[in-house]
Structures are given as structure tokens and as C-alpha cells.
Structure 1
Amino acid sequence: MTACVYLRYGSEVLVLDAGSGFARLLTEPELLEGVERLSVVLTHFHLDHTNGLVALPGLSRVPVREVWAPGLLVAGMPAAELVRRLLGPPFLAGTVDDVETKMATRIHELIGDVQIGSFSLRTRLQPHHVGPTVALRVDDELAYCTDTAYDEANVAFARGVRVLLHEAFHAADKTDHPAHSAAGEAARIARAAAVERLVLVHLNPLLEDEEELLRFATVVFPASEVGRDGPLT
């Protein structure tokens, strides 16, 4: 599964990134039982974070289906234009207009901190990737820092949250990779930010043993775990 984080409060669902796991909203309809508002927030537009949006046409039972995307921040183009490119003809929708009628009911430009229903969302531009990406923080519950090389500025951003989801593409203490972090680096961010738990995400799909990540992370921050597909309690 590629990047996708599901949070729910009452009749509202907030999804951070729409990777392949987004399809579970189709295959497990109970995840949207009683939901009136589905808000999808993208960190950037790479396909492993957006390919799940193709499931949107099957979610029409949810009255409000909105996409928040940092088009201007990370690509210098309006979010609506980029989402229409992803979902419009000839790739999926029959017409461009179908994107905001049959798929998403609205596309919003993510340009900074925002209140999305009951969720207070803070944002931070991360400059250390092949292109900029956006770190996300939901209240004091969760911070999500993916697709970034080691970035000490994320310490202040994530400080005090209950759970930090941080990318760990490399099973190492450190890496000089310009676009991705090592497990040990994610752990140092977690320790300095005084979070309760660290969940390692955005892993290398070619990694043979994910426990190698924990070998480098837990020595720095013992409350580390590898992200799995399924509930995070």
C-alpha cells in the first residue's frame, strides 16, 4: 500500500494523501458508514500519493467529497488544474467538468493552515525533496512528514503531538540522500519533538526486512514502530 492516512470524527473523515490504500473506502464500505463529509488532503502530486483518487467516482454516497491540494505551493499551478489533469480525460473522466461533479464536489487550494470541518490542520512546506512537499499536523494528535530528507525544522512543527508519522525510506542511521530520510533520522526528529509514538512510513518497497528499520530507530527513540496497513490506536 502507498501513502494514505484515514482519520474520523463523527460524520467527518479526513484522509491524508490518496495512495493505493484509498481504495479501501470502496472495498470496506463500513469505513464511510454515516459519513457526510470526506476531505482528502494531498502533500504533493506524485502518483504514489494520488493514484487512489481514481476511487472517487465510487464514493458518491458521501454528500461532500472535497480535495485540498497545494498546487500553488509545490507546483506553481492551481490545485484544481492539477487534479483535473489527474482525473480528467483521457485518463478517467469523460469530461473535465465530470471531475468536480461526479468525482469531487469541490477542489480547494491548500495554501496554509486551515480548519476543515472539525479538524484543525497546520501545514509546513518541506523543501528537501525532488520538489517541495507539505508536512501536515492535525491538532495535537498527529503529524505527518513524508517525502523529505532529514529536516530539523520538522522538530518544532511536530513538537508535542501524540503520533508522528515520518518517512523512513532508508534502513540506516543517516543518509545523504537528497530526497528521503533514514530510520535513525526519523527517530531523532521524534525524540527532539517529544512525541509519544513514532510510526515509520513511506518505506522502500524493495526492503527485504522492515525490522531493519527498527534496529536503527529504536536505539534513538524506543517508542518506534513500522507502519502497517490497518488501524493505528
Structure 2
Amino acid sequence: MKLLLLGTTGYHANDRRQTACLMLPESGLVLDAGTGFYRVAKHVQTETLDVFLSHVHLDHCQGLTYLWDVRAEAPQLGRVTAYAEPDKLTAIRQHLLAELMFPAMPPLELQTLPAEFTLRDGGRLTHFPLRHPGGSVGFRIDWPDRSLAYVTDTTAHVDAEYVEKIHGVDLLIHESYFIDDCPEQAELTGHSCLGDVVAVAAKAKVGRLVLVHVNPLIDDDASIDLTAARRVFPKTELGVDGMAIDF
């Protein structure tokens, strides 16, 4: 199984990273549709695409408006469906796809996020609430022989309710917008500090941790020193755009 990281920053793109977008090409699944969504076209392996949105802040949904070009580059693609909570779908229709904002409705179906979804390869996708301004959800996918969780836009804490939902996954993709120097800002904006994220990974006993949704103002990844983080959770890695993760 291969997971592609197509966008690994948050808030806004920079010269090295696009905003949130992950893809499981073999499953026809995309998690979030930030500015990295345009890259989906080069990796399409299925005739349909299911896009699950954690929430609809622009760095997670604006890529839906790129679908005209995605389809042009991947003409084999038929149905594309985006799933989100009902209030988030309303926001997409009334704002992102309002005529004055985007005059041509993308070739896209919008559906309410189901409690459970079966992927074409038999994987079982479920979701759980996260604490974030406006609300967000995390996702967990379980196959018979592997599992992953995607947690973004929340303030990590070992006592957070979502920790039990990700327990034991083989691969955890978790946001880490701040290093450890802005805990007050993390709490205010609903984002996570690195030290809290690795503590969550350790408590949840996950197999591997990959950090995403990093601060776009960080212009050199070398400034994100993982030495202390790896003392808490050794299998910690920094996600980058274009990274392919086999798990």
C-alpha cells in the first residue's frame, strides 16, 4: 500500500510545499483537497475518486475548484465525490462555489460524510471529531493487515479524546504546525506543537509517525530538529511534498 503526500503545509502554500492533500492511488481515495490537489491527476489509477474533507478551511478544500484541470489530465476519471459534514457542505456550496467566487460548478458530487465507508480495496474508513475552530474530523482506515490515521487541525494532547481512536495504527499522519515555541498560539488557532504530537504517538502506541501541516514560514526543514522528538517517539519523520510512504 502506498500513501502519497501531495501537500504538507497549512494556511498557505510556499515555494516548497502545497497545502493539505494526501492520496491512496490504489484505493481511489484522497484526504483533504488543499492546493496540492492539482497533483492528484498524475497519480490517478481508478475510474472514480472519493475525496474526504477533514473540514473546509480554505487550505483543505480550495483544490476542489481545480477539478476541471484534474479531469483534463486524467480523462479516464469518471465520478468524483467529496464527502464532508453537512454544515461544511453548505459552506462549500454557499461560499467556495458561489457564482461570484467560482462561476462554473466543478464536475463534482457533494455528499454527507458517512459514519463508515468501504474502500474499493476493502479498507474500512471511519472518522472521529477533533477540537478545532469551526470543527474538524480525523480519519482512520483499517485493512485486514494494516491501518493508518490522519489527524490534522487540532491541538494535540495526550488526554485528547481522539487518542483512543488512533490507538495501535501502523501509520499516523499528524499535523505539527508549530515546533515547541508557541503553545499559546497553538491553542488559540487549534493547531499542534511537535512535543505534544510525539507524546500522543507514544501514548497511542502507533507504529510510525509522519508530520504534516507544518508552518509555511519555516523556510528550511533543517530548523525542525527532531532529536528531542525521537527520544519520545523514535519513529518520527517529517513529511515533504512528493513523499511516497509504503506501509
Indicate yes or no: 2:144 matched with 1:150. Answer: no
Matched residue of 1:141: which SS?
strand
Q: How far off its partner does 1:215 sit? A: 3.3
One of 196, 201, 205 as aligned partner of 2:207: 196
Indicate yes or no: 2:34 matched with 1:25. Answer: no
Q: Distance in 1 between matches of 2:170 and 2:53?
A: 21
Contact 2:38–2:70 (8 Å) recurs in 1: no
One-letter amino acid of the counterpart of residue 126, structure 1: L
Q: Distance in 2 between matches of 1:134 and 1:219?
A: 29
Q: How far off its partner does 1:202 sit? A: 0.7
Q: How far off its partner does 1:67 sit? A: 0.5
Corresponding residue for residue 6 of structure 2: none
- Identity over the aligned pairs, expressed in percent? 35
Deviations 1:4-51 (A, max 9, x none): 000123xx410000011111124x2xx11x411101000001000011
Corresponding residue for residue 128 of structure 2: 124
Q: CA RMSD in A?
A: 2.0
Corresponding residue for residue 165 of structure 1: 173
**Against the structure 1 CA distance between its residues 221 and 203, is the aligned structure 2 distance closer, same or farther, given a 3 Å change threshold?**
same
Contact 1:174–1:183 (8 Å) recurs in 2: no
Corresponding residue for residue 10 of structure 2: none
Q: Distance in 1 between matches of 2:120 and 2:166?
A: 21
Pairing of 1:1-233 with structure 2 (within 5 A):
1-9=18-26, 12-26=27-41, 28=42, 31-32=43-44, 34-60=45-71, 61=75, 62-72=77-87, 75=88, 79=89, 81-85=90-94, 86-94=96-104, 98-99=105-106, 103-104=107-108, 106-118=109-121, 119-127=123-131, 129-139=132-142, 140-151=146-157, 152-172=160-180, 175-176=183-184, 177-178=186-187, 179-211=190-222, 212-230=224-242, 231-233=244-246
What's the TM-score, normalizing by structure 2? 0.79
**Against the structure 1 CA distance between its residues 153 and 173, is the aligned structure 2 distance closer, same or farther, given a 3 Å change threshold?**
farther
What's the TM-score, normalizing by structure 1? 0.83
Contact 2:54–2:137 (8 Å) recurs in 1: yes
Contact 1:173–1:217 (8 Å) recurs in 2: no
> Could you say which structure has the greater relative contact order, defined with CA pairs below 8 angstroms and 6 or more residues apart?
2
Q: Distance in 2 between matches of 1:21 and 1:59?
A: 11
Q: Distance in 1 between matches of 2:82 and 2:53?
A: 8
Moved more, 196-205 or 216-225: 216-225
Contact 1:168–1:213 (8 Å) recurs in 2: no
One-letter amino acid of the counterpart of residue 25, structure 2: R
Contact 2:21–2:31 (8 Å) recurs in 1: yes
Q: Distance in 2 between matches of 1:69 and 1:216?
A: 36
Q: Which runs of 5+ in 2 are unaligned?
A: 1-17
